[in-house]
Amino acid sequence: MGTHMTTKPALRIGIIGGGISGVALALDLCRHSHLDVQLFESAPAFGEVGAGVSFGANAVRAIAGLGLAEAYAQVADRTPEPWQDVWFEWRRGSDAGYLGASVAPGVGQSSVHRADFLDVLASRLPAGVARFGKRATGVAQQGEEACVRFTDGSDYRGDLLIAADGIKSALRGHVLEGLGAAPAAPRYSGTRAYRGLVDSQRLREAYRAAGVDEHLVDVPQMYLGPDAHILTFPVKQGRIVNVVAFVSDRSEPNPQWPQDAPWVREASQREMLDVFAGWGDAARILLQCIPTPSHWALHDLAELPGYVHGRVALIGDAAHAMLPHQGAGAGQGLEDAWFLARLLGDPRACHGNLGELLAAYDALRRPRACRVQRTSWEAGELYELRDAAVGDDERALGATLASRFDWLWNHDLEADLAAARARLGWQALSHCA
């Protein structure tokens, strides 16, 4: 950023939120000399709650496109050979009877511990890009500048603010108000989840003692039942099995979570086992290996009418928080990051075309992310035998699950990017004024 007369001022980009999407985007953008990038995180250091996070083939491609394939490979887990292409095997909860499998060639079940992945990403950020203890309280726009205020009394002014601050985003309300839309608060789905990490050797021995097939330890499993389902997949190079046991209450059309109740708490093993009392040996022995599960109230967002207002854009869970039933939430945030990084990192991106660039982001990312939100909810209905067309018909269930995720995993992000560049008139090289 010299002072020579012909040097354009750098685009000042502020990223609010240091989760996986925000850090991945910052990493890519800070490589470009025409961009001045700052990342603001509310916590005193980078950190993620939660256990395993799953990535489909589309997300693994986005990670590679962001230049993070090697970083991801350091900490990622995959289904072991010879089942390396299996995403999940589908089984009856009552007796672990086999219903079918979903196969993702070349990827299988690709997963990572959230905190491990974030650590690897954050360690690659250049010094001075991230600022901590910065909790956003609100944002204002004047002309072609956006200003975000923080609880410590400081503020940041930039040409573009990217809100990557999660489902409870402090900036989403500003975008929706600017679009003349109602605010979108997180909504309780009616589904709760018990989570735990199990030592795979302990589970293997417990299965062996009960005559349960040890194959269930090594390969990702989904046990299906009415209004409940349990998923397992190996992490930490197979030493640990990540377990999530879901249960849904469908008695209320608009379930409410008490405002003062935490979304995450510790639960007793007895509470969890009571929910799955009628389930088969494989499921119950698995849950008996979790002494103190955590209990999560699952929330998502309604589909938003827009992700951009002026010089403020939403990405990741701030834009499209979804239920975890397709393992697609973090992946959509990474697709957002990849897409914005390709556009903003282009030397043709400048103050003069920022509005059109953000309009292209909204037009091409939002329909896909909304569809993934919608189908993530539908997947939960399917797993819990509540899908209107399939119900508890096991043959139809197996056939549906075999191919249901192909559109999600095989999406052509490069085609979306080409469409965005066409909208911007960037097929041929042109220069900003």
Give the sheet arrangement for strand 98-103, strand by strand: 98-103, 86-92, 221-225, 228-235, 240-248, 187-199, 294-300, 264-266
Burial level of 260, CB count in 10 A (0-12/13-18/19+)? exposed
Type of residue found at 228: A
Catalytic residues: 195
Q: Which residues contact 172 (CB under 8 A, 6 or more apart)?
A: 163, 183, 184, 304, 314, 318, 319
The span from the CA of 249 to the CA of 256, in Å, is 11
Alpha carbon 389 to its chain centroid, in Å, reads: 28
Cross-strand bridge partners of residue 233: 242
| C-beta separation of 376 from 54 below 8 A | no
Q: Which residues contact 6 (CB under 8 A, 6 or more apart)?
A: none
**Which residue carries 């992000």 as its tokens?**
413
The span from the CA of 402 to the CA of 377, in Å, is 18
